[in-house]
Every structure is written in structure tokens, then in C-alpha cells.
Amino acid sequence: MNPWIGGGLSALLLFSAFSAAAAHELVATAEDGTEIARLPVSEGAGWCVLWNHSVEGFPVTDCYENRDGRMVLVRSRQPDFAAGLGHIPGRGRQVSDGAGGYWILDIDEPVPGNAYVLRPGGAPVDHRLRVGDTVVSLSQAAARQRVRIELTGHDN
């Protein structure tokens, strides 16, 4: 067998596998169809939705992962047991965050259809998407409007 052909095939397969892993994107779309964000999320990578609690004003964080092309809620940070927040027994495990709040870890809940609709609050609430170092304010782009957040990809 020609080693150049075998090596070329291996490189092509490796490139194809890398391309497939990088083919997923987190897409936020406003109700009128305007695309707010399109961010790459490779297999195994994660992202978070951040916002400030509408009554107490403290930050809340929900984090997701791309698991085999599926959007999975994995953890949530909540600084208090304020309105609408709290741990539901049997849905993950609650641990201290070391700063007076708590994390709910190991939620591991797939999101049906790899998408959900969020209605971002106004400026004080400031719903945001964070993928790596990139942060996009959904509230700035579409406050009080329906925004679809979806993990797209080659196998969805």
C-alpha cells in the first residue's frame, strides 16, 4: 500500500471528524427572524445563559453543553432562594458556591428539540449568552420579545 495514500486518507478522516465536531452552532433568533447571535460550540464544549434576578438583582447562571449534538442543561448557579429559584430534589445536586449561594450540579437534562424560547428582560435583567469569552446581550437586541435559542449542527 502506498503510505502517501493511507496518510492522506487518515488526514482527510481526521479533518472530517474535526469539521463535524466544529459544525455545531448556538443560534439566537428574534421573533421576527432576525439573527442575534451565531456562535460555534464544538462537541463537549459549553455555554451559559446569564441574567440578573428581576427582584433581587443578583446574577443567575444556567450552563449547557453540546453532548453528541444535543443541548443539555448541566448546572445552574443561584446566589439565593429568591422568587422562581431553588433546587428541586432529584434534579441534580445542590452544593455551596463558597460565596453564600449555591450551584445545582449534575442536572444533565436534555433540552427537547435542542431549542427553547426565552423572553429576555429589559436592561436591568440583561439576559446574555456567554460562549467562551464572547458575550451577547439578548436583552439589548430583543428585550421583552420571544428569542429562540437553538443548538444547530450537521446531525440535528
d(CA 98, CA 120): 28
Q: What is the pLDDT of residue 81?
A: 61
Give the domain ranges of the chain.
3-152
Q: What contacts 75, CB < 8 A, 6 or more positions away?
A: 62, 63, 92, 103, 104, 105, 106, 107
Query: What is the DSSP pairing of strand 109-110 with strand 102-105?
Result: unpaired
Which of 120, 151, 124 is closest to 136 using CA atoms? 120
What is the chain's pLDDT, residue by residue, as a tens digit (156 residues)? 333 333 433 333 333 334 444 589 999 999 999 999 999 999 999 999 998 877 666 788 999 999 999 999 999 887 666 545 555 667 778 777 888 777 888 989 999 999 999 999 999 999 999 999 999 999 999 999 999 999 998 554
